[in-house]
Structures are given as C-alpha cells and as structure tokens.
C-alpha cells in the first residue's frame, strides 16, 4: 500500500544561512492531501529538486513570521499563479501575513490566479482544531518564542475495509458492489435483508498523528499538546553547551526536545532547525538520545512514514 | 593586477522556477566596492556557494518589484543583521520596497543592526546619476516593463599612475614618497621646485562601463542609454519564435537584445533572464549572434572582467 501519511523534510536549518542546510520546510502527505509546513527561502526550488509538484498542494502552514520560516512563500505563490493554478489554496498563518502578501502582490502588479482560504492562528491559546477534512484534522497549539508562534498536529483517523474474497464469492455479491463495500457500506439487495459490512470485510483502523514544533523555548506544558503522537518534530537549534544562547533566543536544545518527547511519550522524535554553527550533527543526536532513544535527525530529502511508525 | 571592475553572475533565470537556473542576481566589484544587482530568491545561498562575503557589500540595487528580482532581499538583509553588520548599506530601488521591508521587519520583531541609505528610483525618467563614489558612478535609466523598472550603468573612470623606477632613482626620490606619487601627486621637497608627476609616472586611464537591463520590452531609445558601454547585460527571456509572448509580457527576445547592443555599439553583450521553457540556450545565443557577434551567455558563477574587455 502506498503511504497515506508521511512527511518529507525540505529544510532542517535555522535562521543563519548555511551551505549545508536549507531553512524550514516540510512536505506532508495525509490521505489524498498535500500540505507544506513552513516555507523558508528557496522552498520552491527544493520542491523542484525533490520532484514534488506544487500544483498538488492543498494548503500551506506558516508557524510564525520569522523569515527562515516563510520568506519562500511569496515566490512559491507567484510561481503557482504563473502556472495558472485555479484551485483555492488554504493558508494557515498569523493574520498579518495576509497584509504582507497583499502588499507585495499589489506592488508587483500581480493578481493571483487562485483564491486563498486564509485561517488565522492569532487567537490560538491552547490546543485548537483549525481544519478538518474527511479523515484528518489539523490542530494548532501555542509555542513560546520571541514572537507569536504555533505548533501543529496532524491527526489521521481512518478505517480501511479489507474485502474477504471467499465470503464475497460464497454470498454471490456482485463485483460491481465491491467498491462501496470497501468503503464500509453494508450490502443491500432489493427485497432482501442487508448483509452487514462486518461479515464481508476485516477492519484496519489507522489512528496516527504527527506534531511539529518549529521554534520554541522549553516549557513543560508543551508535552500535553503533543501527548502520544506517533512522530514529533521538535526544533533543536542548540546543544546543551549553548544553553545560554538558547535561553536568549527562545530556542531549545536537543536535550530539551528529547525531554518533551519523553514526557509526551511520543513514538519517535525528529530533531531539526539546527544552528549554522554546527557542521556535524551526531553529537546533537547523541545528546537527545541520552534522554529519548527513539530520536533521529530530520535529514533533508528523507521521507518519514507516519502510518507505519510504531 | 587584480580585477577592479568585474561582474559575477549569480542567476540567469526568469520568473518561473527552473531546476537549471537561479533568478536574477549579479555581484559587481568596482574599485574597492561590492554591489549586488538584483536579489532573486536564494541569492544569499548563491553567495555562500560562490564564497562571496555578504559583509563586503556596499550596496544593493533592485531594478523593479517583480519577485524574481528581489524576493531574496529580505533574507539577505536579516542574515546580515544576524552577523551584526554595523556598516550602513545603500539600497537603490523603488521607494515602496522600503515600506515592505519595514513591514516584514516589524512583524518579525527584527531591528536591523545597520542603517540603510535608501535611494529611490521612482522619479527616474531619463539617464540620471544616482550615486557617485571616488572613481565610479551609478546611473539609472527607465526601462519599459509591466511595472516601473530601471536599468543601471556603472561607470569607472580612474587613472593609474605606473611609477618609472629608473627616473625615481635618478632623481633620488625617497621610497617613502612612492605611494603618494602613485596616487598622481607631484614630488615636493622643501625649498625646491616641485617635480611634476608626469615625469615620474606613466598614466593609464581606465574608462570602462557596464550596463544592466533587467526586464524590458524592446524600444529604440534604449540604445542611447547604454551607448558604447563595454559590457551590456540585456534580458533575453524569449526567442524570436515566442515573440508574441515577449510582447504580452513586456520582455525581449535574444534578437532584440542584440539589436540594442548593435545600435548602441557596445563592446560585448551578455544575455540572460531565460524563460524556464528553454533547457538548451545555444539557439538563443545563435539568434543574438546573428545580429551582434560579440554575444555570450551570462552563465551562472562566471566572472566577466570589465576593465580588460575590449
């Protein structure tokens, strides 16, 4: 089965540019939808490199208005418009992004070829659902950074109905009905008693979640917001030896990210948003793993499969 | 002698992103100064790749407010500030860029660590000098694009005084005086008649110029603005077979760029700003060369030396 819930890392760097890393951006596939989580400068070029089609995007989330998380948005949107996109695009972001976007578009004489469905994050004070679609939802929750900043949680809850071929044949169910039965429907023939779906299929329930914490200082309550997610991405801008700098800049150390993961009892922790001062990342990984073993580097271009994570 | 007047191409692509090319940006060295001409998305990463230090920049010119010419500016400026730059930076651009920059900085809670000396291009109606420094000047002139857009001309006029060692020795000129003599000064000893600099040096006059035409449709008067420059960079977004698209979008074909070069009797033409539809560029070069032989592709990362151009 193709993955129906995955993230692909497009950038794991932080604000200072570094030849080794790109600024924050992640491609999230959830069911039939595709979302971009943050959009640092150059993201549209990362999409080209990774063969990810921007035309597929249903929505873009901007965690906060620091440039390394959104300076790629304007170029991406104007490029989408050059491609004559007509499908509306959802943007979840601080409301002021909308004014900035309008200003840049006006000055450039641009009119976007598509509508934007804008969902503002400004009033998010606790875990709050901002978007629901079929089998998944997107929650936002507050982080603690120098400016207003949100974390996000994608939750997929879907039942897959696996047909029982032997039973279907034995009960002479027409093949034309298999599709609706595989969507969970009972079988109904005129004048007969319905055959319950339970008899015709075995159910597999996919109940998985992914949380993204872009820029934040450590605070104990964060663990509640990301409780028990299957994969947690948490910024790890610094190592413990640069704790003072982490405190000054409202960022976290790799160890603090691991403390959140441990307290929240998540399945797996991905660390990223690394300071440009680090060329090697192994020691940051080791630092996090000393607290929470199931930690990995959010390596650029790697796809992490969420529905198959344990 | 090290080059004192050169350009390095950082991007020769146009608005639609292309995996082969970056959007417009050029690094110009003129005398002891360094300038950036346009600043498309990702320019700060191109600087890192090319080993060009952004801390050296004296100024940045933005030809117009289409994203492929300035969406890299905000990231570059905030990165300069993260490096704690204190030297003021000159920006030559449409005045609205200033408001946009202020808005983005305010929303992100940024305060730049350096001052900006802003020179607006909005009132440029003909060839006009906007900046002068020691031996060089920067002129702006109007282009004809969908929005207000300027071309720019860098002119270097400098005399180099080559010492005549035999004469200096014969006249017993103290070595300590060589430096000022090499700056064009006469030799003066108390109570004696001055020795004219002409006797002590041979003069070399460097009088070179470079013009940049970012985005423009063809118009005959443009040749006057760039008359006799040593190197002309002129956009060649399309080939003649896409003339209709060139007209619609206020861009030029390679042949039109060559017509400007020919009419202006420039030394050399560089073509760039290529549409993403072209993967091969040789036919655009051939098209331009059919009109003006001294044409080259403005290849990315290549340095073109202006003071040694013929």
Q: How many CB atoms lie within 10 A of CB B291?
A: 18
Q: What is the pLDDT of residues B141-162, one digit of tens each?
A: 999 999 999 999 999 999 999 9
pLDDT of residue B67: 96
Q: What percent of chain A has pLDDT over 90?
A: 92
In angstroms, the Cα distances linking B128 to A271, B102, B121, B150 are 53, 27, 10, 11
Give CA angle at A60 (A58, A65), nearest 5°. 170
Q: How many CB atoms lie within 10 A of CB B169?
A: 10
Of A72, A83, A103, the CB nearest to B41: A72
Give bridge partners of residue A202 from the DSSP assignment. A162
Q: Retrieve residue B310's tokens.
A: 């013929």
Q: Which residues of A touch B (CB under 8 A)?
A: 15-19, 22, 41-42, 44-45, 48-49, 65-68, 71-72, 74-75, 78-79, 82-83, 94, 96-97, 99-100, 103-104, 107-109, 146-147
Give pLDDT, residue A309.
66
For A96, the token pair is: 């002021």
Residue B44 in this model has a pLDDT that exceeds 60: yes
Q: Nearest CB to A74: which of B22, B45, B71?
A: B71
> Judging by DSSP bridges, how do beta strands B295-297 and A150-163 pair with one another?
unpaired
Q: Is B248 exposed, middle or buried (0-12, 13-18, 19+ CB in 10 A)?
A: exposed
In chain A the first and final C-alpha atoms are separated, in Å, by 17
Q: Which residues are CB-neighbours of B123 under 8 A, at least 6 positions away?
A: none
Average pLDDT over residues A281-307: 97
Of residues A167, A164, A142, the one with CA closest to residue A152:
A142
Instruction: Please check the confidence at residue B116 and state whether its pLDDT lies above 90.
Output: yes
Reported as a single tens digit per residue, the pLDDT across B191-213 is 889 999 999 999 999 999 999 99
In this predicted structure, what is the pLDDT of residue A112? 97
The string of DSSP letters for A221-283 reads THHHHTTT-SEEEEE--B-GGGHHHHHHHT--BHHHHHHHHHHHT-SEEEEE-B-TT-S--HH
Identify the pLDDT of residue B309.
66
Task: Say what the pLDDT of residue B134 is.
Answer: 86
| Per-residue pLDDT band at B217 (split at 50, 70, 90) | very high
Query: Is A103 within 8 Å of B100 when comparing Cβ atoms?
Result: yes
Chain A residues close to B96, C-beta within 8 Å = 107
Interface of B with A (CB under 8 A): 15-19, 22, 41-42, 44-45, 48-49, 65-68, 71-72, 74-75, 78-79, 82-83, 94, 96-97, 99-100, 103-104, 107-109, 146-147
> What was the pLDDT predicted at B2?
65
* Residues of A with Cβ-Cβ distance to B109 under 8 angstroms: 66, 146-147
State the Cα–Cα distance between residues A235 and A16, nearest whole angstrom: 15
CA of A74, closest CA in chain B: separation in Å? Answer: 7
Predicted local distance difference test score (pLDDT) of residue B18: 87
A202-239 tens-digit pLDDT: 999 999 999 999 999 999 999 999 999 999 999 999 99
**Residue numbers in B near A42 (CB within 8 A):** 41-42, 45
What's the rounded Cα separation, in Å, for the pair A179 and A197?
A: 12
Q: Using pLDDT thresholds of 50, 70 and 90, give the confidence band for residue A310.
A: low
Q: Can you give the pTM of this predicted structure?
A: 0.93
Residue B134 is among the residues annotated as catalytic for this protein? no
Q: What is the ipTM of this complex?
A: 0.92
Asked if residue A34 lies in contact with residue A55, where contact means CB atoms within 8 angstroms, the answer is no
Average pLDDT over residues A29-46: 97
Q: Is the pLDDT of residue A116 over 90?
A: yes
Query: Which of B206, B266, B265, B214 minimizes the C-alpha distance to B235?
Result: B214
What does the pLDDT look like over B83-102, one tens digit per residue? 999 999 999 999 999 999 99
A107 to chain B: which residues are within 8 Å by CB? 65, 94, 96-97, 100, 147
Q: Residue A1: is its pLDDT beyond 60?
A: no
Count of A–B CB contacts within 8 Å? 99
Catalytic residue among B2, B38, B68, B215: B68
pLDDT category at B286 given cuts 50, 70, 90 is very high
If you write DSSP's letter for every residue of A43-106 in order, what string do you get? HHHHHHHHT--GGG--EEE---S-GGGTTTHHHHHHHHHHTT--S-EEEEE-THHHHHHHHHHH
Write down the pLDDT at residue B275: 96
Question: Which residues in chain B are closer than 8 Å to A66, comparing Cβ atoms?
Answer: 108-109
DSSP summary character for residue B240: G
**What integer is the mean pLDDT of B268-275?**
98
Chain segment B16-30, per-residue pLDDT in tens: 888 899 999 999 999
Largest distance between two CA atoms of chain B: 75
Q: What rounded mean pLDDT belongs to chain B?
A: 95
Distance from CA of A48 to the nearest CA of B (A): 6
- Bridge-based pairing state of the strands A59-61 and A33-39: parallel
Residue with tokens 């965690």: A63
Percent of chain B with pLDDT over 90: 92
Distances from the Cα of A99 to the Cαs of A43, A94, A142, B54, in angstroms?
A: 21, 10, 22, 30
- Percent helix, strand and coil across chain B, each to the nearest 5: 30, 30, 40
Contacts of A104 in chain B (CB under 8 A): 65, 67, 100
Label each residue of A98-139 as H, E or C: HHHHHHHHHHHCCCCCCCEEEEECCCCCCCEEEEEECCEEEE
CA atoms within 13 A on the CB side of A278: 23
* pLDDT reported for residue B61: 98
Torsion angle defined by CA atoms of residues B214, B216, B221 and B223, in that order, rounded to the nearest 10 degrees: 40
CATH architecture of A5-305: 4-Layer Sandwich (3.60)
Determine the average pLDDT of the residues in B158-180.
94
Q: What is the pLDDT of residue B189?
A: 87
Confidence of residue B78 (pLDDT cuts 50, 70, 90): very high
Alpha-carbon distance of A144 to B17, in angstroms, equals: 35
Beta strand A89-93 pairing with A116-120: parallel
Contact in structure between B251 and B219 (CB atoms under 8 Å): no
How far apart are the C-alpha atoms of B224 and B266, rounded to whole Å? 11
A10 C-beta neighbours (distance < 10 Å), count? 27
Q: What is the pLDDT of residues A150-202, one digit of tens each?
A: 999 999 999 999 999 999 999 999 999 999 999 999 998 888 899 999 999 99
Distances in whole angstroms, Cα of residue A240 to Cα of each of A23, A125, A235, B38, B101: 22, 29, 13, 40, 35
């Amino acid at each position: 089965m193709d993955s129906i819930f995955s993230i692909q890392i497009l950038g794991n760097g932080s604000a200072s540019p570094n030849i080794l890393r790109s600024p924050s951006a992640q491609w999230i596939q959830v069911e039939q939808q595709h979302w971009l989580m943050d959009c640092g400068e150059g993201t549209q070029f990362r999409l080209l490199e990774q063969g990810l089609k921007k035309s597929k995007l249903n929505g873009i989330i901007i965690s906060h208005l620091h440039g390394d998380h959104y300076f790629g948005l304007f170029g991406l949107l104007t490029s989408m418009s050059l491609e004559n996109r007509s499908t509306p695009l959802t943007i979840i972001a601080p409301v002021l992004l909308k004014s900035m976007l309008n200003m840049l578009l006006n000055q450039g004489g641009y009119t976007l070829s598509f509508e934007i469905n804008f969902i503002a994050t400004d009033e998010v004070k606790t875990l709050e659902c901002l978007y629901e679609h079929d089998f998944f939802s997107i929650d936002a929750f507050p982080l603690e950074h120098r400016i207003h900043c949100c974390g996000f949680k994608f939750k997929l809850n879907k039942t897959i109905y696996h047909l029982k071929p032997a039973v279907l044949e034995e009960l002479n169910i027409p093949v034309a009905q298999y599709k609706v039965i595989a969507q969970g429907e009972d079988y109904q023939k005129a004048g007969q008693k319905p055959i319950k779906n339970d008899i015709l299929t075995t159910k597999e329930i996919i109940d998985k979640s992914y949380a993204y914490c872009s820029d934040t200082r450590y605070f104990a309550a964060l663990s509640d917001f990301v409780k028990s997610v299957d994969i947690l991405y948490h910024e790890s801008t610094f190592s413990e030896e640069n704790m003072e700098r982490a405190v000054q800049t409202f960022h976290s150390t790799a160890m603090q990210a691991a403390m959140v993961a441990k307290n929240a009892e998540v399945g797996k922790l991905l660390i990223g948003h690394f300071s440009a001062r680090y060329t090697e990342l192994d020691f940051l990984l080791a630092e996090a793993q000393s607290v929470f073993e199931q930690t990995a580097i959010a390596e650029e271009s790697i796809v992490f499969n969420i529905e198959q994570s344990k």
